[in-house]
Structure 1
Amino acid sequence: MTPWRTSERWRFLRDRALMEKKARDLAVLFEQERARLVSPRRDEPPAPPFDPYDDADVLDSAGSDFGDVFWPPFDAASVVDAGSAARFIIDVLRSRKDLRLRFPDAFSALDGGDFGRWIASDAGRTELGVSAEGARHLVALLASDPAARARQFFLSSTEVRAALPHGLMPAGRRSLFKWFVRHARDGASLSIEEIWWLFLQATEDPQGELCRAYLFTAEWQRLFPDGLTVFGWPAFAGWVRATYGPENLTGASPSAPGHLRPEIQLRAAYWARPAWRAAHPDALADAGSARVFLDWLVSGGDVESGPQARTWCSGLDAEQVSSELPSGPVNVIGHFCYPSGLRVSVEALVEAMACQGIRASLRDVRTDPRDDPRHVRFDGLETGGVTIIHVQPEPFFAEVYARADLAERVPRTYRIAYWYWEFDSIPQSWCDHAAHVDEVWVATEFIARGLRERLTIPVRTLFPGVALAPFQARSRSYFGLPSERYIFLFTFHMMSVMERKNPLGLIRAFQKAFRPDEPVTLVLKTSFGDRHPEQFEELRDAAAGIPAIKIIDEVYTSDEVLSLMNTCDAYVSLHRSEGLGLTMAEAMLMGKPVVATGFSGNMDFMDEDNSLLVPYESVTVGRAIPPYEADLEWAEPSVEHAALALRRLYDDQQWARELGARGQRSAMKFLSLEEAGRRIAGRLTEIESLRRDLGLRA
């Protein structure tokens, strides 16, 4: 209330007033949509859809000033980066109907399509008046899906999607565009170009948006579990027409959109129809039974299926579909877009199954707005008989289907939880979560021992396999690292509990091992330091005044992480406990000598011959560090022995390279995806036999 705080106070009041106004506007928008759904349109003529090519309609829909939606005109010579490339393409296609007719998927072809190839040609460059360098920016932009972040923000905005699940369909675009322009840009740091691209993409592909709306709206999936099949489409399309208006079916096939493969359509419809399961309980058991089931559908055995469905069935390759129908996919729900070891693990699991010819239906579990904007690409339905939920018990397991935007299949699948843990005892809440699955898979025996003591369901050790993904080899200068020094690397995630990862112990060992004047560098690569400011400040304080220690706090792509590892000379982990030790496995596969605490999950693939193991003492955590309780035990690695190990690698670099080669040979044998796939396939076969003995089906 003092005079010198008046300006700050006014800024606070102004910002609060703006936030309250936005909240009121948003509430009005939601109420309008809810009211419309309560009294759905029937015989009323549909309102004209949002027209992104009409400036007046755009401004009216946005309810904003010209400068909030448009930008000043500029010529082709101004195309110098991704932002200017987006503005140029949007302006060109909005102003030239001839190009829109010539390239109807210019915005929605994720690989650039014919439009991108035309721009790259001499004819395209000449007609548009862009330079070769400008054309490269345009082509690169078209191949990058500029709408991805805006779409991801919409998919992660649960309150908005509850009111506007049809937001990218014709009937919802006007309201959703207004929300994006007036409310979403500040919260998501989206550019207006990204928003434009999303709506132009949706306008080009109304049928695709209808399919995506279904695939990512669990309530629709529950109402119409086979809505995108030839069998369920008439009921679903009728509901869409009555609820949201006929314009939302523009361009849609009269029988079904064709988004799903034939065997997936048949599986989805089979699980949605008790009468089918009663008439053909063995339809998914083998190819012969599947063929009998298919012939029954063709002959009209199911009286409820209309003539279009029977015609569709008769046009199928009966032999191929009958062979594919029994071997349904394994449903996998996991963190495919969250930059973490969990993503690497679930990707490896899927790749290992693929090595054995096991197909997978994939769903991403949303965790954070900063997830990679690829959630929409993981659109598999739960049509297989087995579901692997590769998600930790805390904090998302209880809401995993909601975060995957997926309706649970009825009847329920055989559920397998894939969990990681770092101690020999699990929290009670894990037992509660285990009551909702049929068995648990873990990566290492270290994890398995702790779970088996508390759980009554089977716990299987099935290593997911580890393989180095292709990565771009980059120079040290790309990461700001010196070229002539011996580099030790440790990578960790601040979200994985810094005390467990123990970089402070590594800093002490490094200081003990080397003099300040020696040409040695320790790189500590972390991410999400802003989420844990106290711990990150502690890390920076520990490294302060030590020029040889470099801290990198950035979210790297998996390609960049492996590229960074490739530039280092040795890898070090003085962890207190690890469920698996993925980064150690990756370093070994890369042929790097590895120094690591001789405790926990990494001991499934590390020994005295293929790595340098640091001795430790067992100690209690000592204080509660969520999710860890104070009385749990983990390792306290010896700083003195770690320093000696670092010193040995530096002093005898030829021996260090030989150690790395031994580790690489060992890792390639034990960690292979092919071997992991064989073990996983074996267990899935056992589960299938068990379910058949119990009278259940895949």
Structure 2
Amino acid sequence: MKTNNLGINIVGYTKGIFGLGEAVRLNIEAAEIANISLNLIDFEKLKKNTHYKYNFDYKINLIQISLNDLDRFFSVIDPLFFQDKYTILFLVWESEYIPTKLKNTINLFNEIWTPSLYCKNIFKKVYDGPIITVPHPVEASLKPLNTRKSMVFNKDKFSYLFVFSYHSSIERKNPFHLIEAFKKAFKNNDNVELIIKTSGSNRHKKLEKKLLKSISNQKNIQIIDIDLDKNEILHLINNCDSYISMHHSEGFGLTLAEAMYFGKPTIATNYSGNTEFMNHNNSFLVDYELGLIENPDSNFPSETLWANPKLDHTIEQLKAVYQNADLRKKKAENATFFIKEKLSFNAIGSIMRNRLNHLHINFKDLNSNKNQNAYLLNQLQLAKAEITILEKELRSMKKNIIIRFIMKIKKGVRKLKGKV
């Protein structure tokens, strides 16, 4: 193990072509720019390949994976990964309700990093350790396009854009509210258009059908379900006239920040993580009322508490962006300045480096809680033991099924011989 260098072991979807993969790569780039030494562990390889070899080069660990993957993480990671280490969990949450299981899990870690004060205030209710706000860095360079997949806008129309994945919960992303507001704001005005770019519909056919039905007979709204790489997504955002998100909640709101970086007037619910970088000087924010989830799904249970944007104010802000060119230009300029100053790789890398410096200087005092380490190692062993038991039970079930099937065949053969 390297002890002298300021470094960190990062476990995440380092090659993943999805949101969490992108988020960990952004943190990696910010850390590299801040001259932080890195030891990268690809979690996809770790959970699929028992022979995947990885090292524990540094005293500090950063885990940045899906909450749904944490149990799997504990079952496959080498317990030595935690021995005499300080382990940080990078966590994003999008509801003011936290399930009991999450409360127990996050308290296995020494520290939490999270991209917004909104998330931090939620975690403070159930976690006693240090919680550090580390926003997602937002910098983008457009590379030439190899395809025309992102060229979906009509140049003669004022184009609003919203991008979401069905995997991120259509209930949370709230596109139906956006569609209703757009219809009432513009009816069939042929000078404006709303483009909703989705992905992941192949596993959510009922929801896709419902979404498509909501725009029937609406000529100025298009829903395009297509997989795009990051560069194509950035081109799509850069080519729209305005970006909008009527979410119920966002842990951060990366596409909103990217739109602001490109100087696009942005409209969003005035609630949750996006308010860290959106304000009335640089964005068009929509008023809301707090409320419980209407349609619980696999991601968010019935106790979920978040914002319901007000329809009338959404309509008002849609019209304000379209009708007031001077105002949208001024706010867009303010947005670009704010994002480039506050969320650059240098700015976020400095936050990381300052925190890691503190951890290294105070490592002995911070890591003196052996009871937590012992508890964590115990939980790891329990998880592995439980998986072993489940695997044995599964093998036994399969064996019993095969035996029953063979006995059934033998019984059938006997009956057939008796008849003969």
Q: Measure the CA separation in 2 of the matches of 1:410 and 1:618.
A: 40
Q: Flag the 1:501–1:477 CA change in 2: closer, same or farther, 3 A.
A: closer
What is the aligned counterpart of 1:416 among 76, 88, 113? 88
- Aligned residues with identical type, % of pairs: 27
What is the match of residue 427 of structure 1?
Answer: 99
Q: Does structure 1 residue 679 correspond to structure 2 residue 351?
A: yes
SS of 1:396 mapped into structure 2: helix
Could you say if the C-alpha distance between residues 477 and 433 of structure 1 is closer, same or farther in structure 2, counting changes exceeding 3 Å?
A: closer
Aligned residues: 365
Which of 383, 387, 400 is the matching residue for 2:73?
Answer: 400
| Structure 1 contact 352–464 (Cα < 8 Å) conserved | no
Equivalent position to 1:384, from 46, 49, 58 = 58
Residues in 2 aligned to 1:579 and 1:439: alpha-carbon distance in whole angstroms: 18
* Residue type at the aligned position of 1:358: I
Q: In structure 2, what is the Cα distance between the partners aligned to 1:441 and 1:506?
A: 32
The equivalent residue for 1:341 is 19
User: What whole-Å deviation, never above 9, does each CA across 1:568-627 have from its counterpart, x for those lacking one?
Assistant: 010000001111011100100011000000000111111100000000111111453233
State whether residues 84 and 367 of structure 2, in contact with CA within 8 Å, keep that contact through their aligned partners in structure 1: no
1:493 to 165, 183, 195: 165
Equivalent residue in structure 2 for 1:331, among 9, 31, 43? 9
Deviation at 1:553, TM superposition (A): 1.2
8 Å CA contact retained: 2:149, 2:232: no
Maintained 8 Å contact 2:8/2:61: yes
Q: 2:174 aligns with which of 502, 525, 534?
A: 502
Distance 1:485 1:591, change over 3 A: same
Of 29, 42, 46, the match for 1:351 = 29
Aligned mates of 2:146, 2:20 — CA distance in 1? 25
> Unmatched 5+ residue regions in structure 1?
1-266, 269-283, 285-325, 370-374
Tell me by how many angstroms 1:328 deviates.
5.5
Shift of 1:380: 5.4
In the superposition, relative to structure 1, how do residues 417 and 609 fare at CA in structure 2: closer, same or farther (>3 Å)?
same
Q: Are residues 474 and 574 of structure 1, via their aligned partners in 2, closer, same or farther at CA, if it must alter by over 3 Å?
A: farther
Could you say if the C-alpha distance between residues 380 and 553 of structure 1 is closer, same or farther in structure 2, counting changes exceeding 3 Å? farther
- Structure 1's 361 and 594: CA in aligned 2 closer, same or farther, altered over 3 A? same
SS of match in other structure, 2:25: helix
Question: 2:107·2:127 contact (CA, 8 Å) conserved in 1?
Answer: no
Residue of structure 1 equivalent to 2:230: 558
Query: In structure 2, how many angstroms separate the alpha carbons of the residues matched to 1:539 and 1:406?
Result: 44
Alignment correspondent of 1:443: 115
Distance 1:422 1:646 in 2: 25
Preserved contact between residue 157 and residue 193 of structure 2 (Cα < 8 Å):
yes
Higher relative contact order (CA 8 A, sep 6+): 2
Residues 509 and 471 of structure 1: CA distance in aligned 2, closer, same or farther (over 3 Å): farther
Query: How far is the alpha carbon of 1:440 from its aligned partner?
Result: 0.8
Shift in alpha-carbon separation, 1:622–1:516, aligned structure 2, 3 A: closer
Partners of 2:83 and 2:304 in 1: CA distance: 39
Contact 1:611/1:663 (<8 A) preserved? yes
Q: Distance in 2 between matches of 1:489 and 1:694?
A: 46
The answer to whether the 8 A contact 2:103-2:126 is kept is: yes
Which secondary structure does the structure 1 equivalent of 2:355 belong to? helix
Counterpart position of 2:410: none
- Asked if structure 2 preserves the Cα contact closer than 8 Å seen for 1:621 and 1:631, the reply is yes
Deviation string for 1:427-478 (max 9, x for gaps)?
A: 1111221232111111111001111111122222122322224433689785
SS of residue paired to 1:631: coil
SS in 2 for 1:351: helix
- 1:408–1:488 CA distance, 2 compared to 1 (3 A): farther
In 2, the alpha carbon distance for the partners of 1:473 and 1:589 equals: 19
**Distance across 2 between alignment mates of 1:475 and 1:609:** 36
Indicate whether 1:593 and 2:265 are aligned.
Answer: yes
Query: Aligned with 2:159: secondary structure?
Result: strand
Residue 294 of structure 1 aligns with which residue?
none
Q: What is the alpha-carbon distance in structure 2 between the residues aligned to residue 650 and residue 417 of structure 1?
A: 42
CA distance 1:589–1:408, shift in 2 (3 Å): farther
Which residue of the other structure, out of 355, 358, 363, is the alignment partner of 2:41?
A: 363
Aligned-CA RMSD value? 2.6
- TM-score by length of structure 2 reads 0.80
1:532-551 equivalent positions in 2, closer than 5 A: 532-551=204-223
**Contact 2:143/2:231 (<8 A) preserved:** yes
- Cα deviation per residue 1:224-263 (whole Å; 9 max; x = unaligned)? xxxxxxxxxxxxxxxxxxxxxxxxxxxxxxxxxxxxxxxx
Deviation of 1:667 (Å): 1.3
Report the residue type matching 1:616 in the other structure. Y
Normalising by the residue count of structure 1, what TM-score does the alignment of the two structures yield? Answer: 0.49
Going from structure 1 to structure 2, the CA distance change for 1:495 and 1:408 (only over 3 Å counts) comes to farther
Amino acid corresponding to residue 56 of structure 2 in structure 1: E
Shift of 1:421: 0.5
1:512 to 171, 179, 184: 184
In the alignment, the residues of structure 2 paired with residue 402 and residue 351 of structure 1 have an alpha-carbon distance, to the nearest angstrom, of: 29
CA contact (8 A) 1:474 1:564 kept: no
Q: How far has the Cα of 1:509 moved from its partner?
A: 1.0
1:637 aligns with one of 299, 302, 309: 309
| Per-residue deviation, 1:487 | 0.8
Amino acid at match of 1:667: I
Label 1:694 to 1:536 Cα distance change in 2 as closer, same or farther (>3 A): closer
